[in-house]
Amino acid sequence: MVRGSKNAVTKHMVAAMLGSGPSKIHNAPEVGDVDITAAMLESVGFEVRRERDEITVGGAGAIQPSVPQAFTGLNRIPILMLGPLLHRTGEAFVPLVGGDAIGRRPVDFHVAALKALGAEVSVGADGITARASRLRGTRIDLPYPSVGATEAVLLTAVLADGKTVLRNAATEPEVVELALFLQRMGANIEFSPDRRIVIEGVRALRGASTRLAGDRIEAFSYLVAGLITRGEVRVHGCPQDRLVTAITTLAKMGARFEITDEWMTATATDGLRPAAVHTDTHPGFMTDWHQPLLVLFTQADGMSVLHETVFENRLVYVPALQQMGGEIEVFAACLGGPACRFHDTDAVHSAVVRGGSKLRGADVTLPDVRAGFSGVLAAAVADQPSVLRGIAHIERGYHRPFEQFTSLGLSLRRN
């Protein structure tokens, strides 16, 4: 059973800052990013209560405009708090953001959007400071359909004066899920063709309640876990419509699916064929799906190609897989798909994988959340035990990963 997405729950917690009353988020995962975000909200005066899979966020008193610098670099949530803090206090300071070292994720788009909405913003060595007596609607054109920048505009424009038209917006399911939650709180949001979102500002929002849809990244990862071990994993809790492209990709490789309204399984009793896959913004093949897929490529029958087009440093985990016996070569060229925005740069963003690799146990360090899960997958089919370091990354992004892996029959020991 997969719970709500790490990439959704923290954004909903920030959205709750905008309501006049408490908001409840159901089906929330138990992940490290929730703990970090809850601590940040509490540091500025919000009350956060957690009970089983439910999170309640409400104002407990005077709201402080500054997020402490102790949260510098822990995740990317501080930048999203700027808009809500401006609406609540007229000023805001947030520390520098962090997250996985998978490539440049600059705050330029966020800062430009805030300025367009009427805020005075300055970026310093310690963080970002913003001031605004009242924000106003405007037209914003994103240079790239950034998920974070789209969410920042939604969280700011819903209480701004007048209409905001956001062009080239991200349309990932988690973005739509956030917009639906804001709509329940009383926001006026309209999705139009050609990646355009229209937000008509309202004077106030109320608290609301929602149930998060299942995490599509986690669901895909566990489906691959079954395929790579020549077994079968039944995944509950993630709607089929969140995995359309992923299901088709695995099916082309030879996987056979059984899908109901409650669960889905994937098997590959006849083995797996190679594939050429390039990642893209939604509805393309998600960048966070590619790490387990790359491990699966090592067990397919032939040569596969992966072309990463979203983050230029996403292949940072490949040396760990090579150390475990994966026959993988990486390139700065655009392979497996059309030329992307990293064309003619030094960004190593394509990989060629020779299938049929006999993976071996090794002592490796996991560099980020998604690479961490992939390291576990590789270790699961290795011929000897492996020592995986950096497991905190997995705990930051996956719901109770040790319990889940143990339930699938994997032998784990935590030192």
- The answer to whether the CB of 12 falls within 8 A of the CB of 39 is no
For 283-338, the DSSP string reads TSB-GGGHHHHHHHHTTSSSEEEEE--S-TTGGGGHHHHHHTT-EEEEESS--SSS
Residue 100 annotated as catalytic: yes
Where on the phi/psi map is residue 168: left (φ > 0), alpha (ψ -120 to 50), or beta?
left
Helix (H) or strand (E) holding 257: strand 256-259
State how far Cα 149 lies from the chain centre. Answer: 13
Rg over CA atoms, the chain: 21
Selected catalytic residue, list 33, 35, 53, 100: 100
With CA atoms as reference, report the closest residue to 182 among 80, 95, 67, 272.
80
**CA–CA distance, 269 with 334 (Å, rounded to integer):** 32
**Strand bridging mode 46-51 / 54-59:** antiparallel
Q: What positions carry a catalytic annotation?
A: 100
